[in-house]
């Protein structure tokens, strides 16, 4: 069973670290997922009978890892989801890509469309049916002798596979991303910081987790 790493918990929210390769929620694989694991944790901790409520506010791709927030009440879920929708929930990531993006810092804006049959995403023209705009800002933290780069990303939108597709479309796919062009042992994408307004107190909360030392 996956060991849980809880960063913060109160009556309204639960913040934790999602390990690499654990789904955010149940998928077709049937493998243990964060939502189910955390519900079991809450049920045992508080000796709750019946089903335990826990709201999935946002997702991380299965092969990625890092900070996530879950809602312990439906009211908290609604208010946090609204922050996701309006961009008030700040999400920062650290990644390693096959070569430095050009320029080394800036913004990326694309329209993306998802192929649900194959669970892939691609860039497309604005008028493509189902297209959604995707925006992010990035800063190259370090370039390495082997040609790879360590990059920090701030997301303005939260599209499926967004970071992976936007970087791959510019010729600098993430290391370990076999789906979008740079295969390897492990996808080099980590959710390093999450900030949001507490759903009841309105206090601004921020949580961080450094990327794996191997990077």
What b-and-e string marks burial along 146-181, b requiring 16 or more CB atoms within 10 Å of the CB? eebbbbbbebbebbbbbbbbbbbbeebbbbbbebbe
Residue 3 and residue 16 in contact, taking contact as beta carbons nearer than 8 Å: no
16 CB burial (10 A radius; 0-12, 13-18, 19+): buried
Q: How many CB atoms lie within 10 A of CB 128?
A: 13
User: Looking at 27, 31, 33, 61, which residue is catalytic?
Assistant: 61
Q: What are the C-alpha distances in Å from 91 to residues 142, 199, 206?
A: 20, 17, 10
Residue 61 annotated in active site: yes
> Which residues form the catalytic set?
61
């Amino acid at each position: 069973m996956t060991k849980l790493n809880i960063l913060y918990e109160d009556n309204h929210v639960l913040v934790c670290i999602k390990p690499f390769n654990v789904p955010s929620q149940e998928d077709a694989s049937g493998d243990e997922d964060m939502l189910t694991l955390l519900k079991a944790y809450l049920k045992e901790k508080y000796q709750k009978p019946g089903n335990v409520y826990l709201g999935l506010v946002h997702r991380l791709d299965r092969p990625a890892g890092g900070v996530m927030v879950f809602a312990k009440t439906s009211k908290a879920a609604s208010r946090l989801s609204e922050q996701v929708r309006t961009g008030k929930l700040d999400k920062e990531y650290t990644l390693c890509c096959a070569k430095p993006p050009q320029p080394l810092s800036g913004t990326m804006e694309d329209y993306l469309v998802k192929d649900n049959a194959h669970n892939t995403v691609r860039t497309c023209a604005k008028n493509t049916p189902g297209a959604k705009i995707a925006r992010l800002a990035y800063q190259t933290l370090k370039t390495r002798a082997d040609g790879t780069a360590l990059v920090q990303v701030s997301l303005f939108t939260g599209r499926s596979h967004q970071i992976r597709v936007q970087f791959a479309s510019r010729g600098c796919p993430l290391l370990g991303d076999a789906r979008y062009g740079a295969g390897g042992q492990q996808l080099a994408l980590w959710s390093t910081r999450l900030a949001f307004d507490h759903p009841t107190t309105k206090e601004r909360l921020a949580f961080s987790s450094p990327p794996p030392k191997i990077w």
